[in-house]
Each structure stands twice: as C-alpha cells, then as structure tokens.
Amino acid sequence: MAGFTEKVHSEAVIEVYCKKIDGIWFGVACDQKEIFSTSFDSNEQKTLSSLLATIPFDVPFQVSCESSAFAEVVLNSLKKIFDGRKVDNTFPLAYDSLPAYTQKVLKATLQIPIGYVTSYGSIAEAVGGGARAVGNVMASNPFAPIVPCHRYVKSDFTLGGYGGGLKTKVKLLNCEKRGFSAPMQVQVEGGFLTVFPAEYVLRNLV
C-alpha cells in the first residue's frame, strides 16, 4: 500500500509496521529518523487504521511486513510500556507537522512519571490553555502509549475517558503503580505540573 498526494516531500517514505506480541498488536509509522505515530490494540486493523490516520497528508507511505531495526526497537519498547515497565529510550517524535499548542501539551505529558497521574486542568495550568483544549489534544494523541495519555484522569481521581477503552486504562495504571503515597511537582515547559500517585485512582475502583 502506498500513499499519494498532490504534494510529496523529498524525505524517505514512511514505513508502517504492525507486530503482534502476546495477543496485542503494536504499530509504528516511522522513517529511519523519526516516529510519526504509534498505536496498539487487540485488533490489527484498528492499530493500522490509527497509524494511517495520523500520517501527514503530504507524505508518501507504505505498509511493510518486515520491520526495520529502528522500528523493531520501537515496537518492543511499546510492549514494555504496555506492561508497565520503564523505558529509558528517548524517542525521536515527529512534532514538526503538529500545531504549536499540541506540541506543548504532548511534551508536558511526556514528563508525567510512571506511577503517577494528572488531570487535564493541571496540564492546562502548567502550559496554558484550558482543560478542554488539553483534552482535545489527548483525544488525538498520535504517540500512544509513548506519550502516556492513559495517565490523565478527572480532577476527582475518577478514570475519565480513554480511546483504548477503560479496561485497558485500568490495566495500564495497575501495571504502572509503584506504591507512591504523595503528590509531587515536575517541571514542564511553561511551569510546574502537579502529579499524583496512580493509587489515588485505583483505590476508587475497589
């Protein structure tokens, strides 16, 4: 499958890969330098559709059966994140085609540590804008689960929504809990963000 548009970039074609690991399909759209999108789902077609929906309109792409070395590292890292394990890789995410505010929110979300959650309002206080604007960015997050939108909850520590389904969100948060007991602040672009132990959310589910 190949992408086609009126305008074509001179850069290399984006390769789209999906890989099934322990019953979950993980996917990445990337060239040899940057990640344009990532996704995961129990259904291969949903994972692929999510990837294709986020590729810039003017960039050619092809779906490949055999992963590149770079893509293989990314796919295996997605599995580790899904299992609640810490990944030390600094991923080269393709922010340039995204609006400036979207970039700011995504970069702030990356700073939410494993084992913690925050709210849309808290992110808005840290980087500007409103809670609804932050929510809109998260609803179209092209880099899940690298950019951990599953770590967003409502201000009352109820789950809120999640594109991958609430059962998946609970699974992710349960895997990430580390026994933390107190909030803390992390520095993000524009200010400081208050984050809270995932246990604050999970104990409401019992």
Please give the positions annotated as active site: 149
Please, are residues 1 and 62 in contact by the beta-carbon 8 Å criterion?
yes
- Pairing relationship of beta strands 61-63 and 191-197 according to DSSP bridges: unpaired
Collapse the DSSP code of 69 into the 3-class scheme (helix H, G, I; strand E, B; otherwise coil) and give the result: helix
Q: Cα–chain-centroid distance for residue 43? A: 18
